[in-house]
């Protein structure tokens, strides 16, 4: 890419010189590689696109790097730690919980802390990470409760499907209760 640009900027008589073409090729390749590396580096500065820089963020925040977790789960944990402030209230806990669930949660401070998942069914895949962060930011004397939403039997009955028809879908019990049965 850059080689062609460099060559076009030369005088017509010099463009056909083999030594000049080799030099332009080397410089052009270096510039192409530089652009790719700069794009990759720029991607690491945004938490939504970071990959190889995640351990740096985790180290700065005191998070133990767990390469078994998905990039999304690791990013969620980093974002939640950024959001943790000195003062803890329902708004701060809600902000942290929303970074893990990609959905809506309601947080109540009534006889402890209650985190209620309002628009997603089942238990989020990274609930253990969320529990650790919420526990760390909540005063020790407060109890923390989690309320999950499940697909109930009454909701299933409204589909009009029989037990046999539901069994034939091949879905597991967990998949069905996590709103996997939608008709």
Domain boundaries, the chain: 1-45, 50-86, 88-149, 151-182
Q: Which residues contact 145 (CB under 8 A, 6 or more apart)?
A: 112, 113, 114, 115
What confidence tens digit (pLDDT) does each residue in 123-178 have? 887 888 889 888 888 888 889 999 888 777 777 778 777 778 877 878 777 777 76
Which 8-state DSSP code applies to residue 63? P
* Model-wide pTM > 0.85: no
pLDDT tens digits, one per residue of 101-114: 666 889 988 888 99
How far apart are the C-alpha atoms of 137 and 115, rounded to whole Å?
13
d(CA 82, CA 104): 19
Question: Looking at residues 81-98, what average pLDDT do you find?
Answer: 78
d(CA 71, CA 99): 14
Contact 76, 89 (CB under 8 A): no
**CATH T-level assignment (fold) for domain 88-149:** Alpha-Beta Plaits (3.30.70)
With beta carbons less than 8 A apart as the criterion, state whether 172 and 139 touch: no
CA distance 70 to 105: 22
Find the angle CA(49)-CA(131)-CA(134) to the nearest 5 degrees. Answer: 85
CA 141/CA 150 separation, integer angstroms: 29
pLDDT of 20 strictly over 80: no
Percent of the chain with pLDDT over 90: 10
pLDDT at 80 over 90: no
Neighbours of 20 (CB within 10 A): 15
> Comparing 28 with 68, which gets the higher pLDDT?
68
Cα separation, 20 vs 11, in Å, equals: 11
Tokens of 6: 């460099």
3-class secondary structure, 149: strand
């Amino acid at each position: 890419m850059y080689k062609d640009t460099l060559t076009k900027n030369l005088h017509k008589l010099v463009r056909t010189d083999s030594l000049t073409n080799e030099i332009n090729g080397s410089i052009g390749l270096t510039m192409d590689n530089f652009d790719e590396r700069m794009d990759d580096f720029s991607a690491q500065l945004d938490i939504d696109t970071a990959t190889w820089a995640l351990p740096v963020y985790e180290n700065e925040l005191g998070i133990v790097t767990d390469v078994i977790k998905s990039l999304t789960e690791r990013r969620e944990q980093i974002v939640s730690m950024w959001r943790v402030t000195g003062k803890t209230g329902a708004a701060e806990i809600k902000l942290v919980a929303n970074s893990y669930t990609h959905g809506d949660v309601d947080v109540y401070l009534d006889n402890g802390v209650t985190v209620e998942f309002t628009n997603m069914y089942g238990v989020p895949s990274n609930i253990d990470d969320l529990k650790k962060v919420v526990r760390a930011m909540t005063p020790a004397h407060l109890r923390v409760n989690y309320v999950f939403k499940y697909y109930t039997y009454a909701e299933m009955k409204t589909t009009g499907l029989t037990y046999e028809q539901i069994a034939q879908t091949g879905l597991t019990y967990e998949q069905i209760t996590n709103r996997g049965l939608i008709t």
